Amino acid sequence: MTQSELEFVTQHRRHLHQHPELSFQEYETTKHIIELLDELEIPYERPLETGVIAYLAGNGSHTVAFRADIDALPIQEQNDIKFKSSKPNVMHACGHDGHTTALLLFVKRCKALADRGKLPQNVVFIFQPAEETGGGANHLIKAGAFENYSIEAVFGIHVMPFNDEGTVTLLNEEITASATEYRFFLEGQSSHVANKEQGHSCGEGLQHILNQVSTIQQYHLNGLQRNIVHVGRFEAGEAINTVPSHGYLEGTIRTYDTEDLQIVKDQMTKIAQSVQLLFGVNCEVKFEEGYPPTYNDPNLHDEVVNALHQADFKVVELDKPYLFGEDFSFYSQLAPSYFVFVGIRNEEKDWVHGLHTPKLNFDESQLIRVADYYENLLFQYGQEDKS
């Protein structure tokens, strides 16, 4: 670790942290990234209004991609720090300011290598918008952002405040869950409470849905599998003295098994049909497909572990996937991919707060080790060609 690199990551991370932007609104963040790319004279493209794809040609025939997400969350920061978010109710509470900064440092290193004729392979740098909402990765792919690059592998990281500094957790195959949203829409018939039997109550239908959804995990899914069927919000009714004629319920499904996801969706469809039969209330359930499970290609495992060890990380193999969603999952459509979680927990400094919380914070020096990991991967990739 050099002093100049520590100053680099500290400056850029804190600037980004102080100026967070929500998904698909990352205009100033994109401008900040482009300013460095222009300074380094690195070519780039903007397939979407926000976000950047940069490219450097190396000496080898392989092309490897590295991704950072750049958006923030609608959260009011509670940290008492000099670089606290300057925007009300917007905060980098998921560490994307760190992801972006680590990739910027790696960009700078790669340009220095390229200038000396020592960049081992072609590199694509992905500064992706809208990971939190909207699936920015999928938008980039659908926009044809990568059609001109023969990408062979995609790598990415996520900070993890539940794991200590210096550790990295990983898992072959699925490491994060799919994330699917569901919504029930109920339409009944109102009546005055004095004649309640003449109505068709969405309140009654909503109670039924709540009860039945809560039993899906218990009765219809393998008890050894990790799944979440979560109710996030529900409401019904218009007035204190009338039978509710409208109802609504929404939630999320998290699973890393596509068969389990289909079971949940099938049961919810049956629940919606039963509301009509039992209560005379029209009920429709709609699903919004979110992020598929993030799949780590086992063929990349050894290279990833070696590169992490060389960066002085302790590697911890997980037993089971995490049950949150991550849109890095879409990059497996492009090429084999691998995603790891970098520990940032430091109890002495009270950096113990979770992702998506108003007090997330971490030591910028850890970002240098992420750049070390990326560089190690780049130099390892394709070495079998020379053996």
* pLDDT per residue as tens digits for the range 8-61: 999 999 999 999 999 999 999 999 999 999 999 999 999 999 999 999 999 999
Contacts of residue 314, defined as CB under 8 A and 6 or more positions apart, other chains included, come to: 166, 167, 168
* pLDDT per residue as tens digits for the range 83-121: 999 999 999 999 999 999 999 999 999 999 999 999 999
CA distances from 155 to 68, 182, 274, 310 (A): 9, 30, 46, 16
Summarize the confidence of residues 65-79 as an average pLDDT: 98
Of 94-98, 116-120, 328-332, 380-384, give the lowest mean pLDDT range: 380-384
Q: Is 158 marked as a binding-site residue? A: yes
Q: E strand or H helix at 3, and its extent? A: helix 3-18
Separation between Cα atoms, residue 167 and residue 132, nearest integer Å: 24
pLDDT of residue 185: 98
Q: Is 250 marked as a binding-site residue? A: no
Summarize the confidence of residues 206-227 as an average pLDDT: 92
pLDDT of residue 258: 82
Separation between Cα atoms, residue 284 and residue 187, nearest integer Å: 9
For residue 326 the two structure tokens come to 């991550």
Separation between Cα atoms, residue 202 and residue 204, nearest integer Å: 5
Q: Is 208 marked as a binding-site residue? A: no
Nearest Cα to 182, choosing from 331, 283, 73, 328? 283
Pairing of strands 167-170, 314-317: parallel
pLDDT of residue 289: 78
Report whether 254 contacts 179 (CB < 8 A). yes
Domains and CATH numbers, the chain: 3-176+293-386 (3.40.630.10), 178-291 (3.30.70.360)
Q: Is 356 marked as a binding-site residue? A: yes
Rounded-to-10 torsion of CA 130, 71, 64, 169: -110
What DSSP state is assigned to residue 88? T
CA distances from 114 to 19, 38, 104 (A): 31, 15, 15
pLDDT of residue 384: 66
Nearest Cα to 97, choosing from 112, 82, 108, 84? 84
Summarize the confidence of residues 347-360 as an average pLDDT: 96
Q: Is 132 marked as a binding-site residue? A: yes
3-18 vs 27-40: helix crossing angle, rounded to 10: 150
Q: What does the mean pLDDT of the chain come to? A: 95
Summarize the confidence of residues 338-354 as an average pLDDT: 97
Select, from the ranges 122-126, 179-183, 236-240, the one with the highest average predicted confidence (pLDDT): 122-126
Summarize the confidence of residues 327-336 as an average pLDDT: 96
Residue 275: pLDDT over 90:
yes
The pTM of this model reads: 0.88
* pLDDT per residue as tens digits for the range 144-160: 999 999 999 999 999 99
Residue 333: pLDDT over 60:
yes
237 pLDDT band, cuts 50/70/90, is: very high
383 pLDDT band, cuts 50/70/90, is: confident
Higher pLDDT: 321 or 382? It is 321
Residue 386: pLDDT over 60:
no
Summarize the confidence of residues 60-86 as an average pLDDT: 97
Residue 134: pLDDT over 90:
no
